[in-house]
Amino acid sequence: MSRVKVAVIGSGPSGFYAVSALLKQCGDPVVDIIERLPTPFGLIRAGVAPDHQTTKNVVRAYSKTAAEAGVSYFGNVSVGKDVSLAELRELYDAVILAVGAPADRKLDIPGIDKPGVYGSAEFVGWYNGHPDYVDLDPDLNTERVVVIGNGNVAIDVARVLVKSPEEMAASDLPGPVADVIHRAPIKDVVVVGRRGPGDAKFTNVELREMRDLDQAVSIVRHEHLPDELPDAVEGRDRRVREKNLQTMEAFAEPGDDQVAGAEKRVLFEFYASPVEVLGEGRVEGVRFERTEVSEGGSVRGTGAYFTILCGLVVTAVGYRTRSFEGVDFDAKSGAILNKDGQVAGNLYAVGWAKRGPSGVIGSSKRDGDEVARMITEAFAREENPEKPGHEGLKRLLQARKVAYVDFGDWQKLDAAEVARAASSEAPREKFLSVAEMLAAIGPKSG
């Protein structure tokens, strides 16, 4: 019996969990990971905050998976440009879309397109050294930044903007980005949510970090904190929310010494919905409507308005996956239309491409297990002609003169980044463009 041949498009967590599941369930598969950039690991490299190096250690496990027999990496290969999705479906027994949700959901309010307003995907991509956003060049010459959103990404943006150079020394914040952030005159970062503190989507680990900043104090309005959570909030969800509220209680009553000694502030503003970005030529402020939350959980405006003046706005209100020709997209969820992970025929989706942007890094493990089971069962019951798979993709890319990067090339690039770290504390200094990456790898031998 021939070996099942699978192409996994995307090398982030959902992609690697799918590969791992295939190795466990499919006997002796041939799995090719196809990545648009030379660098693997998706949001671990370009989405996880640069000061969260412990979280990034998961790439050690992914690297072991990439080294397994039958697994290959094709970096610097763009599906839709270098090879079509239709071609991959002909080359492989199954194709898995593991492309995450890399695009920002856009707020539909007047002024959202003014200079100085950024989506969190592009802003986080910029401070993480993603090649797509290296030229973003945000103007941080402002004393106040508004971050719209009440999830971990909003907190990440706020924390990175107010941490001192010493606090970021052990991060992989790129040098050119660090120069811009640490020179900025930012005094306040205002994190704004439509709902109240009890509904915020922060994980408590991230929220607690905001208590221990060297040069910044976090502040919550005491009147925004609820006396108790609604009875309908139960179980684990209730425990998580209660922990967050306990943490925020300390933010509502910071000590006088904390406030007096702080150079910067992170202000949490709840019950506020953005209605317009203000400014002549570029952003100068955001107009908000005060909100209230009904017993049933719906949010409604109160008719009371206020303005926060600022010179930079970052919206962290969600993401959507990328589109592929011939693949239906669900605008509501921000995901690819699928049924339990199957998109159509031999095409599958995992992770945020399947579910929309929700959950933590490990949430995609189950998706990988389910899709690997479906592929195994389909391959066992169907009389499939022998597919060219790996060798067919290599021939196609070579014929089109695509300079693809294998995992050994990535390891060479990885070593070069580590070697050029600015200090012994820093884990690496990233190359910020594809051209720089390919130059660091050098010509392929043979």
- Is 236 among the annotated ligand-binding positions? no
- Is 244 among the annotated ligand-binding positions? no
- Is 180 among the annotated ligand-binding positions? no
- Is 120 among the annotated ligand-binding positions? no
- Is 194 among the annotated ligand-binding positions? yes
- How far apart CA 389 and CA 168 sit, in angstroms, is 44
Minimum mean pLDDT range among 79-93, 216-230, 428-442:
216-230
- Is 206 among the annotated ligand-binding positions? yes
- Let me know: does 136 contact 123? Beta carbons within 8 Å: yes
Tell me what pLDDT residue 297 has. 82
- Is 446 among the annotated ligand-binding positions? no
pTM score above 0.85: yes
| 359, two tokens | 């959950």
Tell me what pLDDT residue 379 has. 85
Average pLDDT for 144-169: 97
Tell me what pLDDT residue 255 has. 61
- Is 107 among the annotated ligand-binding positions? no
Protein fold of 5-102+320-441: Rossmann fold (3.40.50)
- Is 360 among the annotated ligand-binding positions? yes
Q: How far is CA 156 from the centre of its chain?
A: 11
What are the residue ranges spanned by the domains of the chain?
5-102+320-441, 106-316
> Domain 106-316 maps to which CATH number in 3.90.1310.10, 3.50.50.60, 3.30.750.24, 3.40.920.10?
3.50.50.60
Q: How far is CA 73 from the centre of its chain?
A: 21
| 235, two tokens | 């179980």
- How far apart CA 253 and CA 256 sit, in angstroms, is 9
- How far apart CA 97 and CA 344 sit, in angstroms, is 12
- Is 445 among the annotated ligand-binding positions? no
Tell me what pLDDT residue 292 has. 94
pLDDT tens track for 161-200? 999 999 999 999 999 999 999 999 999 999 999 999 999 9
- Is 343 among the annotated ligand-binding positions? no
- Is 420 among the annotated ligand-binding positions? no
| 35, two tokens | 């990545």
Going from the C-alpha of 383 to that of each of 166, 344, 372, the distances in angstroms are 61, 18, 18
Average pLDDT for 210-222: 94
- Is 27 among the annotated ligand-binding positions? no
* Topology match between the domains 5-102+320-441 and 106-316: no
Minimum mean pLDDT range among 183-197, 224-238, 343-357:
224-238
Tell me what pLDDT residue 172 has. 97
Average model confidence (pLDDT) for the chain? 93
- Is 359 among the annotated ligand-binding positions? yes
- Is 111 among the annotated ligand-binding positions? no
